[in-house]
Amino acid sequence: MERIIYNSKEREYKSCFGALPTNKKCTFNIDILASENPQDVTLCIRADERSDFLAHPMSCVKMRDEYMRFSCEISFELSGLYFYRFEFSSPEGVRFCGQRDGIAFVEDWLDEWQLTVYDDDFKTPDWAKNKVMYQIFPDRFCRSNNYMYNPAKNEREIVEDWFSTPKNQGNDFFMGNIEGIIERLPYIKEMGADIIYLNPIFESPENHRYSTGNYLNIDPYLGTNEDFIRLCNEAQKLGIRVVLDGVFSHTGADSLYFNKYGHYDSVGACQGENSPYYNWYNFNQQGYECWWGFENLPNVNETHPDYMEFITGENGVLNYWQNNGASGWRLDVADELPDRFIDALRHRVKETDAQALIIGEVWEDATNKFAYGVRRRYLLGKQLDSVMNYPWRTAIINYIKNADAQSFRESVLTIEENYPKPSLDCLMNIISTHDTERIINATGVERTVSRDEAKDYVLSGDEWQKGIEGAMASMFLLFSLPGIACVYYGDEVGAEGFSDPYCRKGYPYGKENTEIFQLVKELALLRKVYPEDFDSLIEEIDISGGAMCYTRGDLLFVINMSEKDEIITKNEDFVIICNKNEIKSVNGVLTIPKKSYGILTRKTR
């Protein structure tokens, strides 16, 4: 493994590449202008949250044009986050080589580079790597008439009109159910999905079901525990696995455990200190601690022994659902789960099934994330397998709307640089979720839409067309990048809606856009036809104006979202396998028409 740093403003910048496993040797190189007369060149590395550096002398190994290349080889015994820069002596005194906006410079002082070192035995599930995921918000996907719901413990509003606009509240139920998901499995398979990620399905008084009422029961409006087992079995027959949403930082106030309204035959924490659940929660003079001020979501003490045992114990919640067919977990608000809880969760999940998947909800770069004053260690090998990838969602939408290829490159290569390869392989890449506006709205509507407007907003003809084109180009990028391509239900057929609750409308039956669906099918199929290429990372992104291209293995992904044609020279010929708007590859030169994208493969393969 090699990390090359160039230090001249005149020289093309080449990114460092990749996180590093422990005990694997890595060569660090720096090219310095001979005219600088560099002496005593040193690589300076410090561990996270330490100010003292470990200095590694570097030797001159060769000349490159007017540059002198200095090199050293080191390895790391301990996983963690490290930061480094270079120093050397010159007639002008000590000089520093660091980075500004990712580019290397020599100045008096500059920021350091990050190096993520992860455990060399870190493994993630092979079945999830670079696959296609379908995210389902269960209440809004499919309402089967073959399921007669069971009565609920709490008052709920049943919505008869599937196509009506969701209310800005939690108790309007559209009655999507597990039987409906089972009936739609052939459709999900046809789309090309390998994984279904379900938003919460446990008993809850609200349609989003993030206010858990009973961790061990499926919500009665969705079905039964037996229905869930049948879903997993039927999905498995089609080669599809089911991942559950684990909500462990809080419960519902209307729950078996808190029982604020007395709907459960239990002594809940709200009934006093005699409750077996009392120590799960924090009570104070004002009442009790709750999640972000929502009184329906009392926070739990995740590291209290009783709660830890209930969730992560041998007979706990994790084991129960994995033994009933779940292949993994997406952890809600992973930032708010203490390290000790995530450690125990990983131990239990992997002990039950070493190939189970653990993905955390993290909105930023997960390798250098601070949460509640603590640097998190999600991806070092002892906690999460991977995370949701919001940084790339932002980069995709910004590029589609503004043709800002430079920002896209910086975002993609920074995450690739910082994340371990095992995590990149099962990174949950997204363009919409239940917490964001739909991709059609994000790319089709230019102006800011207020929350009051959003309720009844209908995209105009021009907005709709722009949104469809933006959604398709976004899908292309989503499927082109390393990791899991996650499609939020309905995005594949042009579902629209602004942020929660309007991004949670019922699936648009009878109003599907087949053009997007056909593209998604084609892209999903290519992942299966070229698995070795999709296992490769992106080492560089070539840019010309608003156009860019990058290789993964022998595949070349090309896109141009600008308003003019662009040319990129690759010095080798490629054959088109997926094309929009006649991209051409002739004598090593790519001609990329405006608003076009496509996939090519090397002629020599």
Mean pLDDT of 453-469: 94
Backbone dihedral angles phi then psi of residue 242, each to the nearest 5 degrees:
-115, 125
> In the prediction, which pLDDT does 168 show?
83
Model pTM score: 0.95
pLDDT, tens digit, 9 for 90 and up, residues 417-445: 999 999 999 999 999 999 999 999 999 99
Mean pLDDT of 388-413: 97
Cα 595–Cα 601–Cα 605 angle in degrees, nearest 5: 170
Residue 479 has pLDDT above 80, yes or no: yes
Task: Name the β-bridge partners of 241.
Answer: 195
Residue 121 has pLDDT above 70, yes or no: yes
CATH superfamily of this structure's domain 2-118: Immunoglobulins (2.60.40.10)
Segment (H or E) for 484: strand 484-488
> In the prediction, which pLDDT does 108 show?
66
> In the prediction, which pLDDT does 51 show?
85
Secondary-structure breakdown of the chain: helix, strand, coil percentages, each rounded to the nearest 5: 25, 30, 45
CATH superfamily of this structure's domain 130-246+304-531: Glycosidases (3.20.20.80)
> In the prediction, which pLDDT does 91 show?
84
> In the prediction, which pLDDT does 10 show?
38
> In the prediction, which pLDDT does 12 show?
38
Q: How confident is the model at residue 160 (pLDDT cuts 50, 70, 90)?
A: very high
99 neighbors 110 (Cβ within 8 angstroms): yes
> In the prediction, which pLDDT does 66 show?
86
Pairing of strands 54-57, 59-64: unpaired
Domain ranges of the chain: 2-118, 130-246+304-531, 250-301, 539-602
> In the prediction, which pLDDT does 252 show?
98
**Same fold across 2-118 and 539-602:** yes
CA–CA gap between residue 374 and residue 264 (Å, rounded): 37
Q: How confident is the model at residue 11 (pLDDT cuts 50, 70, 90)?
A: very low
> In the prediction, which pLDDT does 397 show?
98
> What is the DSSP track for 395-463?
HHHHHHHH--HHHHHHHHHHHHHHS-HHHHHT-EE-S--TTS--HHHHHH--S---HHHHTT----HHH
> In the prediction, which pLDDT does 605 show?
63
CA–CA gap between residue 474 and residue 423 (Å, rounded): 22
pLDDT, tens digit, 9 for 90 and up, residues 94-119: 888 887 766 666 666 678 889 999 99
CA–CA gap between residue 147 and residue 221 (Å, rounded): 9
Q: How confident is the model at residue 9 (pLDDT cuts 50, 70, 90)?
A: very low
* pLDDT > 70 in the chain, percent: 95
pLDDT, tens digit, 9 for 90 and up, residues 266-289: 999 999 999 999 999 999 988 999
pLDDT, tens digit, 9 for 90 and up, residues 331-375: 999 999 999 999 999 999 999 999 999 999 999 999 999 998 999
Q: Which amino acid is at 6?
A: Y
Measured CA distances, 308 to 249, 351, 356, 436 (Å): 11, 16, 19, 31
Mean pLDDT of 542-549: 97
How does DSSP classify residue 278? G
> In the prediction, which pLDDT does 551 show?
97
> In the prediction, which pLDDT does 92 show?
80
Average predicted confidence (pLDDT) for the chain: 93
For 539-602, CATH number out of 3.40.1030.10, 2.60.40.1180, 2.60.120.260, 3.90.850.10 equals 2.60.40.1180
Among candidate residues 192, 124, 178, 225, the one with its CA nearest the CA of residue 519:
192
